[in-house]
Amino acid sequence: MNKTVLIDVDMDGSYKYKLQEAFKKVDKTIVKYNSDGYKVVSMLPLIAGDYEINEEENKSYGYGYSFTSGIIIVFEEIEHV
């Protein structure tokens, strides 16, 4: 049996701080499910993005960027023989 967990990390903003928090959430989740008899099968980042466009007379610009907004972790139950 597999279990899927979504971890909300929303990396937009203070990147270094949120990276530390995201790592703690992922680590805590993996440790919990490992102790419950599951192993990690896969991890998938969820990517979001934002953009800004400014159109003024004689000058205009636009930019966009992406960031990790969440992580999906799939666990598989370890079979005991």
Complete edge-to-edge strand list for the sheet that includes strand 38-56: 2-8, 59-77, 38-56
Report the SS3 class of residue 45. Answer: strand
- Find all residues with CB under 8 Å of 6, minimum gap 6, and list them: 46, 70, 71, 72
The pLDDT of 5-28, averaged and rounded, is 76
Residue-wise pLDDT tens digits, 22-71:
888 899 999 999 999 999 999 998 888 889 898 888 888 898 988 888 88
If one counts the domains in the chain, the total is: 1
Kindly report the pTM of this predicted structure.
0.72
Tokens 């989740």 identify what position?
A: 29
Task: Find the domain containing 67 and state its range.
Answer: 2-77
The residue type at 48: A
The pLDDT of 10-31, averaged and rounded, is 78
